[in-house]
């Protein structure tokens, strides 16, 4: 089976790719940095003896998305599992000053993700098989002053995935939403928090196992479900004055 990893330089994406490669699957390694994608692909091939293909991918190059999937399938055969891992936090303050910065965040996390998912959804629907894994964020569960451009794009992506899952549920296609809390990557590099931070490896393993079980949506680390239930229950008149 072939698995397409989009945003493959993310440590979380690499950990997921590693799980699928260890299980004997071919891996399409799609990233903005083609040389890094080639290195990641070679590493997977050497360690797991699987075929890989490195692909140049930019989430904002909407016109190139069809070709990207065509190229992946020409090299490795029909994609059966796709991981949508790319994302960017952006800089909230810069986004407040300059809409072009905000737009980049929206375009990568939402519009680019939807563009890719729609192409995959049509192909998977025609074949009546396939699995789309979308990485979203707890930031999408409630708008906060500190990251609402990123949070709103992730929240929209969560809703999009929910609708897509509903559309494809009886057509043999699985759509899984992963709502991540804190994971140790460059995105959380200077984060000062007392909340435990998960490793990319344990996160990758959890995503791989959940996809195999056909899970629809889950929080990881799991305790974020409780945290977000509490955060969502705070009345807006109180919440709007908090700095969380």
Ligand X SMILES: NC(=O)c1ccc[n+]([C@@H]2O[C@H](COP(=O)([O-])OP(=O)(O)OC[C@H]3O[C@@H](n4cnc5c(N)ncnc54)[C@H](OP(=O)(O)O)[C@@H]3O)[C@@H](O)[C@H]2O)c1
Q: Rule CB under 6 A: which residues touch ligand X?
A: 7, 9-12, 31-33, 57-60, 85-88, 108, 135, 137, 180, 182-183, 185-188
| The two three-digit tokens of residue 11, written as one number | 């440590």
Q: Could you tell me which residues are beta bridge partners of residue 180?
A: 137, 220
Q: Shortest Cβ distance from residue 109 to ligand X (Å)? A: 6
The least distance separating ligand X from the CB of residue 205, rounded to whole angstroms, comes to 15
Q: How far apart are CA 226 and CA 22, in angstroms?
A: 32
Q: How far is the CB of 9 from ligand X (least distance, A)?
A: 4
The H or E element spanning position 137 is strand 130-137
Give CA angle at 90 (87, 96), nearest 5°. Answer: 140
Q: Which is nearer to ligand X, 31 or 161 (CB)?
A: 31
Residue 91, SS3 per DSSP: coil
- Rounded to whole angstroms, the Cα distance separating 116 from 119 reads 5
Q: Which is nearer to ligand X, 51 or 56 (CB)?
A: 56
* CA-angle at 135, arms to 53 and 162, nearest 5°: 120
Residue 132 or residue 135: which is nearer to ligand X going by CB?
Answer: 135
The residue number with the shortest CB distance to ligand X is 87
Closer of 50 and 133 to ligand X (Cβ):
133
Minimum CB distance to ligand X smaller for 101 or for 240: 101
Q: Contact at 8 Å (CB) between 72 and 56?
A: no
Question: Do 139 and 148 form a contact (C-beta atoms < 8 A)?
Answer: no
Q: How far is the CB of 130 from ligand X (least distance, A)?
A: 20
Q: Least separation, in Å, of the C-beta of 172 and ligand X?
A: 26
């Amino acid at each position: 089976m072939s698995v397409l990893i989009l945003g493959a330089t993310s440590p979380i994406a690499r950990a997921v790719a590693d799980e699928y490669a260890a299980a004997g699957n071919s891996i399409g390694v799609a990233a903005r940095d083609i040389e890094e994608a080639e290195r990641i692909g070679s590493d997977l091939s050497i360690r797991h003896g699987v075929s890989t293909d490195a692909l140049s991918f930019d989430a904002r190059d909407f016109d190139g998305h069809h070709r990207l999937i065509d190229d992946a399938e020409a090299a490795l055969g029909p994609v059966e599992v796709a991981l949508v891992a790319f994302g960017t936090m952006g800089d909230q303050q810069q986004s407040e000053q300059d809409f072009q910065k905000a737009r980049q965040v929206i375009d990568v996390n939402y519009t680019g993700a939807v563009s890719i998912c729609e192409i995959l959804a049509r192909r998977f629907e025609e074949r009546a098989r396939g699995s789309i894994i979308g990485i979203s964020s707890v930031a999408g569960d409630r708008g906060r002053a500190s990251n609402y451009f990123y949070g709103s794009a992730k929240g929209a992506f969560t809703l999009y995935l929910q609708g897509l899952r509903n559309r494809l549920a009886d057509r043999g296609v699985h759509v899984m939403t992963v709502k991540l809390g804190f994971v140790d990557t460059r995105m959380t590099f200077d984060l000062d928090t007392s909340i435990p931070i998960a490793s990319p490896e344990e996160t990758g393993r959890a995503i791989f196992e959940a996809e195999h079980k056909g899970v629809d949506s889950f929080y990881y680390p799991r305790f974020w479900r409780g945290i977000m239930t509490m955060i969502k229950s705070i009345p807006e008149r109180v919440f709007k004055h908090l700095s969380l």
